[in-house]
Amino acid sequence: MNALLHRYRPLGVVLLLALLLIAPTAGLLNGYWSRTVMLIAILSLLVSGLNVVLGYAGELAMGQVALYAVGAYVAGYLGVELGMTNVLFSLLGATLAAVVVGLITGIPGLRLGGWSLAMVTFFLVTLVPNLVDVFSGFTGGTLGMATAVPTLFGMEIVGDRLYWLIILVVAAWFTVARNLLLSRHGNMFLVLRQSPILASVLGVSVYRLKLLVYVVGAIPAALAGALFSMLDGFIAPDTFTFALALSVLAASVVGGATSVYGAIAGAAVMQLGQQTFTQFQTWQLVIYGAFLLIAGIAFNRGLAGLAQDGLAAVRRRGWLPTPAPATVAAEPAGEVETRLEPLHGVTLRSEGLGKSFGGNRALDDVTIEARPGEVTALIGPNGSGKTTMLNLICGLYKPSAGRLLLGEEEIGGHPTYRIARHGVARTFQTPLIPAHMTTLAFVATGRYVSHRVGILPAILRLPGFRKGYATDDARAMALLRLVGIADVAHQQVDSLALGTRRLVEVARCLASGARVFLFDEVGSGLDESDLEVLERAIGMIREAGGTVILVEHNFPLVLKLSDRIHVLSQGRLLASGTPAQIQNDRRVLAEYTGATDGGDAPDAFDSVADLQAADGPATPKGAK
């Protein structure tokens, strides 16, 4: 079974749901506790929406409370003004309104970037009383409005029926959230949270994905509003306060923002705290602040993290069986691919390429070509412009001058995600590795764009989703075997050592089915055996027809692997040639020894390789 599906067995959740559903008829809940459970359930919807946006996509959106108000007023309006009391209309109306408000606020908030979404949504919350006042004809203004009795096919939804409706809607949302977050989409949200740059080199439009996450997170908030209007039968603006927004944030942090069900725990703590302690209202802002501080500092994965650690400790002691690691349908264990499928590499050419940062010319008039089925190395001292070149090729920087051609197509200045979709994959000097993800799942993110599985099949767990995941996992596993690190497949990827992370990045690039591979100092930090694996992997990419551009300080590795070497010095092309030509080039030797021109190169070294041998570590002057 797929590793991702295997990890989560929601038995406890199903039992809790069954218990909650039978509780009123079994006499387990009196009126007070029944209302408390409903309020916790409604609050957990708000918190869950924030978890999706903040915990998964890393965007601080404070507007859950405003969307809560939208859901409440839309449901109220439909019932009172239009006579549409059917709860299905109320819930659908609230959902549509959430999508519309989500788009209206998310588009400018996310376009501007930085903290603007937090600011836009913060103002949205402060605007609620004013908007309610402006539309007082429909909303009842500050005095509030009484809502109509909800119905379902002619049946009044009150008492236990309302209780069941709330529990079932909340259960349905958590099923959707679980299926979405524990899927390749959820993994991509985690990538986005860790690094928008990483998401974009994986071919994802960061803006669109953030907007999607924000709108998805708006839906439960509006559903919560609709349910609250049915529960209280009355809506007034003083429900939708900034204090409630803070309480939702505190509940998210306390429950664990990257947990699916932590929202329920966080909501329960906040709701019960409020009901139990009479002083809570007076001190609520201080209490929320304290919760945020304590949870942020002492247990930053919240109650869900504590529960997971506790469960792991219990399993270590043997008091509970440890689930067997997921098995992945791939080639027979131990069998390693010795060749790759054809990679359809393409020629990458820069013509007079330049890049300036203010007055600093990082690259100036650089013309190089990297051909399919070849390894093209870019070398040069620190600051000579190698990484800038890779950043230009993958679209992280826009060229100041010149052209970049992928085959016949000009790609200079295109957005990173579009260039990635043309088949350009890259690694980073400091590997970009997300938290809360296994190595296998991370390598599989390479396939997110090239082998699409829709959101709906993921939410509904349709056969297409299961098949897509089985293939993702099998492919990722095969590639981990290829780079010799299959043993870490089920470990958290952010727990791996630097050298292993580099090999993980190579596997991720291969998973995307790329045609052009940009490897930035991929050999640094690797021990001898890792280097052998890396050499074999790069050799296979070359044989399969891939185009490889290798930025590397390890000169022996460069000599061994490259078909052609370009040497940069202070942003300009100093020399180009075969490894034999470059290692005997006096200008290159001079550059590496710090002599001012080729003629000053010390006689003791006849080649760069001699210099490396004498110097010990294979890094030129000043390398990181």
Ligand X SMILES: Nc1ncnc2c1ncn2[C@@H]1O[C@H](COP(=O)(O)OP(=O)(O)OP(=O)(O)O)[C@@H](O)[C@H]1O
Q: In the complex, which residues of this chain contact ligand X (CB under 6 A)?
A: 357, 360, 362, 380, 382-388, 429, 624
Note whether 493 and 442 are within 8 A (CB).
Answer: yes
Note whether 46 and 77 are within 8 A (CB).
Answer: no
Cβ-based nearer residue to ligand X, 106 or 385: 385
Cβ-based nearer residue to ligand X, 64 or 384: 384
The DSSP element (H or E) to which 534 belongs, if any, is helix 528-543
- One DSSP character per residue, 420-441 reads HHTTEEE--SS----SS-BHHH
Cβ-based nearer residue to ligand X, 229 or 554: 554
Among 262, 240, 242, CA closest to 307: 262
CA–CA dist 32, 23 (Å, integer): 13
Cβ-based nearer residue to ligand X, 94 or 588: 588
Q: How far is the CB of 575 from ligand X (least distance, A)?
A: 15
Among 598, 482, 614, CA closest to 555: 614
Among 346, 338, 337, CA closest to 370: 346
Cβ-based nearer residue to ligand X, 90 or 388: 388
Phi, psi of 401 (to 5 degrees): -155, 160
CA–CA dist 387, 378 (Å, integer): 9
**188's tokens:** 């991509």
Cβ-based nearer residue to ligand X, 61 or 370: 370
Q: How far is the CB of 609 from ligand X (least distance, A)?
A: 19
Cβ-based nearer residue to ligand X, 485 or 590: 590
Q: How far is the CB of 414 from ligand X (least distance, A)?
A: 18
CA–CA dist 70, 614 (Å, integer): 72
- Integer angstrom CA distances of residue 355 from 348, 364, 378: 18, 7, 16
Q: How far is the CB of 558 from ligand X (least distance, A)?
A: 13
CA–CA dist 179, 185 (Å, integer): 9
CA–CA dist 424, 414 (Å, integer): 12
Cβ-based nearer residue to ligand X, 426 or 475: 426
Q: How far is the CB of 600 from ligand X (least distance, A)?
A: 22
CA–CA dist 534, 543 (Å, integer): 14
Cβ-based nearer residue to ligand X, 165 or 574: 574
Q: How far is the CB of 288 from ligand X (least distance, A)?
A: 39
Q: How far is the CB of 581 from ligand X (least distance, A)?
A: 21
Note whether 424 and 515 are within 8 A (CB).
Answer: yes
Cβ-based nearer residue to ligand X, 338 or 360: 360
**293's tokens:** 């501080």
CA–CA dist 197, 199 (Å, integer): 5
Q: How far is the CB of 520 from ligand X (least distance, A)?
A: 8
Q: How far is the CB of 337 from ligand X (least distance, A)?
A: 31
Cβ-based nearer residue to ligand X, 383 or 577: 383
Tell me, rounded to whole angstroms, the distance of Cα 160 from its chain centroid. Answer: 40
Cβ-based nearer residue to ligand X, 186 or 381: 381
**258's tokens:** 């990257």
Q: How far is the CB of 361 from ligand X (least distance, A)?
A: 8
- The distance in angstroms from the start CA to the end CA of the chain is 43
CA–CA dist 211, 233 (Å, integer): 33
CA–CA dist 479, 507 (Å, integer): 6
**Could you identify the residue written with the tokens 């409903």?**
38
Q: How far is the CB of 419 from ligand X (least distance, A)?
A: 18
CA–CA dist 101, 96 (Å, integer): 9
Q: How far is the CB of 568 from ligand X (least distance, A)?
A: 6
How many C-beta atoms surround the C-beta of residue 76 within 10 A? 26
